[in-house]
Each structure stands twice: as structure tokens, then as C-alpha cells.
């Protein structure tokens, strides 16, 4: 898979560069595959992500709802990604770091 890695029961999303509409469809497909392989948790690693648009925010919000908030977390958000998350108070996703 290109953007999703499986680490035990956790599907780890890592998108290099812009996390946008072009990538969300692939991420969702790969996430569904991860669920089928038994993943019940999702982590978003923004280490390689330089920007995030509203399509990605929409889909991550729905992913969080699907796996339940306690099984969803994010990490390594900086610069533009962190600013975008903070504007919508979504930096609470990072609180589990």
C-alpha cells in the first residue's frame, strides 16, 4: 500500500507532501483494506506531510468517527498542517502523543 501501513491493530496513514483531494481516495481505499485485515485503530503521521486540505480533514474526521475517537490519533504535525488543525481545534488529535 502507498499511504497506509499496518502496525499490529493500527493503520498508520503517512502522506508525503500535500494531503489533498488527489490522495484521499487512495487513502480511503487503503484504509478499507486495513480494516479488512483487522485494524481497529488509526494513526496519522504528518511527519512527511507539508499541507492538508479540507478534503483530507473531512475524510479524517469521518475515519475518527468510524474507529471511535479513543482509537484515533495523530502525530508530528508542524507548520501549515499544525495551523490548519489548530484553526478547527483538531490539534486535539495530537493530544495522545
Partner 1 sequence: MYSKSSVLVIMQEPFKIISWVKEALQKYEDIKVYTAATGLTGFAKFNEYLPVLVIVENDLPDMSGMSFSAILKDTDRGFNCTIYVLGVTSFMQNAKADYYFPTELNKDIFSMQIRTFFDRQYMRSHHSDEFERAKMRQNEFLPAYLETSTFKVDTIYSPFSELSGDGIDYWYGEDKEGLYGLLFDCTGHDIVSFTQVGEIRALLKRGCKYFQLGTISSLGEILKNANEDLFALHGDDTTPTAAILFFFDFKKNVLHYCSAGIPNFFIRHENSDAMNEILMENYLIGYEENVIFEEKELSLEGIDEIVFSSDGLSELMFKENIDNAKHDDVSAILIKILKCNVGKTDVHYEHLSERKVIS
Q: Which residues bind partner 1 (CB under 8 A)?
A: 18, 20-21, 53-55, 57-59, 61-62, 65, 80, 83-84, 86-90
Contact 43, 32 (CB under 8 A): no
For residue 79, the minimal CB distance to partner 1 (Å) is 11
Between 1 and 21, CB nearer to partner 1 = 21
Other CB atoms within 10 Å distance of the CB of residue 4 = 21
Between 7 and 16, CB nearer to partner 1 = 16
Amino acid at each position: 500500500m502507498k499511504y497506509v501501513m499496518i502496525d499490529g491493530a493500527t493503520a498508520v496513514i503517512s502522506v508525503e507532501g500535500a494531503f489533498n483531494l488527489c490522495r484521499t481516495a487512495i487513502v480511503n481505499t487503503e484504509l478499507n483494506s486495513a480494516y479488512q485485515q483487522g485494524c481497529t485503530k488509526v494513526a496519522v503521521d504528518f511527519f512527511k506531510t507539508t499541507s492538508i486540505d479540507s478534503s483530507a480533514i473531512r475524510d479524517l474526521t469521518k475515519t475518527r468517527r468510524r474507529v471511535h475517537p479513543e482509537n484515533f490519533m495523530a502525530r508530528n504535525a508542524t507548520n501549515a498542517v499544525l495551523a490548519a488543525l489548530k484553526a478547527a481545534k483538531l490539534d486535539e488529535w495530537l493530544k495522545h502523543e
